[in-house]
Chain A
Amino acid sequence: MADHDNTLLRVDGVSLRFGGVKALSDVNFDVRKGELFSLIGPNGAGKTSMLNCISGRYRPTEGKIEWRGNDLLKHSINDRANLGIGRTFQNLALFSHMSVLDNILVGRHHRLKNNFLTGMAYWVGGARREELNERRYVETIIDFLEIQHVRNESAGILSYGLRKRVELARAMAIEPELILLDEPMAGMNLEEKEDMARFILALREEFAMTIMMIEHDMGVVVDLSDRVAVLDFGRVIAAGQPEDVLADEHVKKAYLGEDDEMLHALAEEQERASA
């Protein structure tokens, strides 16, 4: 893959094996600063596994992941926020007994300095000032995502669409350079999807974030993405402009399930590996 000065994240030859199952094999792609990069593919293709490798949940069996030219894999998961990587989850992962406000404030964790001692003292030692300052930024996110009316509700009682939005808010609170969105539109109705698409575009325009997104809704992917990579059986089978990629024969067949030599070969290899 060509070198770009503005490459933010580079995935280089990443393979991931669980026992005999090859979830990813030799995956290469890069995400450039300021773009909206989509990772698509049929169910079970390894998209979320790839995202988990980037966010640190899984450790690739082989290969490198570079963040701004430095090795990302040597960092622990809780370093990701400091490095400037945030993510949302496919299945909701909010702190369901906390208020929406506190959920978003957790996203500010790595920026806050007060600890359990100064926190307990609250009025002396600056915790109060710091907490109230952070509140300002959190409120801009709340305004932006239009969730003012639920800010004091427990996250667990909200509707699905709202919870998705709160999750996005929490990831935004990290102020990441790269935000990883795992199926931000899943399970939403048309109106909610349109809202979410608007938010995602604004993330880039107003908050200057680079976005890497996994999404099944092809309309959304084509309309929003700058570049797309398609995974199938743990391999990148196509990458490039969304229109070109979707016109690719292999991609069509991967989605439609038609006979295809390359996909056959991949499936066979997968079977051999798991046998």
Chain B
Amino acid sequence: MAHVPNPRPTGDFRVSYAADRTLFKTKNETYFVIGGILLVALAPLFFGGYVLSQLILIGIYAIAALGLNVLTGMTGQISLGHGAFFGFGAFASAWIAGNGIPVMLAIPLAGMMTMAVGMIFGIPAARLKGLYLAIATLASQYILQDFFARADWFTGGTYGSLAETASFFGYALDSDASYLYLVLFWVIVSFVGVANLARTRDGRALVAVRDHYLSAEIMGINLTKYRILSFGISSFFAGIGGALYGHYLGFVSAEGFTILLSIEFLAMIIIGGLGSVSGSLLGAAFILLLPQAMEIFANAVATVVPAIAQGTAYIKQMSVGAAIILFLVLEPEGLVHRWRMMRASWKLYPFSH
């Protein structure tokens, strides 16, 4: 594990325990986050549909990736079924809203339903670890996919189901600009929630289970409880993300929630930084924007070298793959780690420590 120097500037001493356990490590970090939130909140004034839709999707995927990061990053349990839980949340919310409950309530309710389902599928974690658990979660992916196709009453079967438009006190959130605020709200709630979790009792227990389960147990941590709870928390955020996704598109169909999506979520947290809260957001943005950046790149190459104009689609796919591989080789600890090292280097410049 690489050592990251303390990010606090010289002279920034904490004289109370409260000051030492703040959500953000430095003042600049606080300003940075608040600035980021304000920028996103002001985005509808300056940008059109495309940028807004990208922001919304990044937010939605980031919430789900955050959930997976609790499970895989914090607790160390690999899940290959996260995409199915994401899908379950989408269907659940559409179903709840279809039964006359306002969408604003349906989203958290769908999160709780997904949490319950996730905990049921997490029961094997009481006995299985590592690769064996990964295969068990693969089973949950297939079982849920099959359920989506068959449970007509719940998912509309092969036709899919309609998800109602969200509305806020009678004001319909039917535009990208208005939906962005709903997603932003849930992003803030989720990320602050998990950041808080990480600095309190149960979050420490999850990490303890990952790092050394034998000594965690002697410290009074019930392994089975926390392994299953971790599935629950993770599925809750998958469900919230899925619900937001469903109501954003207005239509939910089973095709999107395959193992490919599950693996994409894994890629997001590995690239963003395992176990890191902000890494989930960075990873989601990276995985979502990389193919588009690579498309621009491939098209630019094609204008310079017209001979390959036919193959831009392949070039795009290959560059996405190459970027991910390069990333894992050069920065195995994720974007968050790169960012911390950069910050440390300009803080400490011209010294190395």
Contact = CB atoms under 8 A, between A and B. Distances in A.
Given A98-B211, A116-B233, A119-B197, A77 B3 contact: no
Interface stretch (B179-187, B199-207, B310-318): B199-207
B177 interface: no
A116 B211 contact: no
Nearest to B20: A135
A77 B218 contact: yes
Interface in B224-239: 229, 233
B216 A120 contact: no
A152 B145 CA distance: 45
B158 interface: no
B202 A106 contact: no
Contact of B219 (A81, A131, A136, A157): A81
B139 interface: no
A132 B18 CA distance: 6
Contacts, number: 122
B103 interface: no
Nearest to A85: B218
Contacts of A105: 204
A189 interface: no
Contacts of A131: 21, 199-201
A81 B202 CA distance: 16
Interface stretch (A87-95, A201-209, A231-239): A87-95
B208 interface: yes
A159 interface: no
B221 A80 contact: no
B100 interface: no
A198 interface: no
Interface residues of A, number: 48
A98 B208 contact: yes
A106 B216 contact: yes
Contacts of A152: 6
B223 interface: yes
B1 A96 contact: yes
A124 to B, nearest CB: 11
Given A97-B207, A132-B17, A154-B1, A114 B200 contact: yes
Given A93-B215, A120-B194, A154-B3, A81 B220 contact: yes
Interface in A104-161: 105-107, 109-110, 112-116, 118-122, 127-128, 131-132, 135-136, 139, 152, 154, 156-157
Contacts of A81: 218-220
A115 B202 contact: yes
B222 to A, nearest CB: 5
Contacts of A65: none
Nearest to B8: A152
A165 B66 CA distance: 34
Contact of B221 (A86, A106, A114, A170): A106
Contacts of B152: none
B196 interface: yes
A82 to B, nearest CB: 6
User: Which of B20, B218, B233 has the most CB atoms of chain A within a 10 A radius of its CB?
Assistant: B218
A6 interface: no
Contacts of B196: 119-122, 127
B260 interface: no
B218 A109 contact: no
A136 B21 CA distance: 13
Contacts of A106: 204-205, 208, 216, 219, 221
A174 interface: yes
Contacts of A139: 17
Interface of B: 1, 3, 6, 17-18, 20-21, 193-194, 196-197, 199-205, 207-208, 210-212, 214-223, 229, 233, 275
Given A81-B218, A86-B218, A127-B196, 6 more contacts: A89-B215, A102-B204, A106-B219, A120-B200, A154-B3, A157-B3
6 contacts: A78-B223, A81-B220, A115-B201, A119-B196, A131-B201, A135-B20
The 6 closest A-B pairs by CB, nearest first: A81-B220, A119-B200, A110-B220, A95-B211, A120-B193, A122-B196
Interface of A: 55-57, 76-82, 86-87, 89, 93-98, 102, 105-107, 109-110, 112-116, 118-122, 127-128, 131-132, 135-136, 139, 152, 154, 156-157, 170, 174
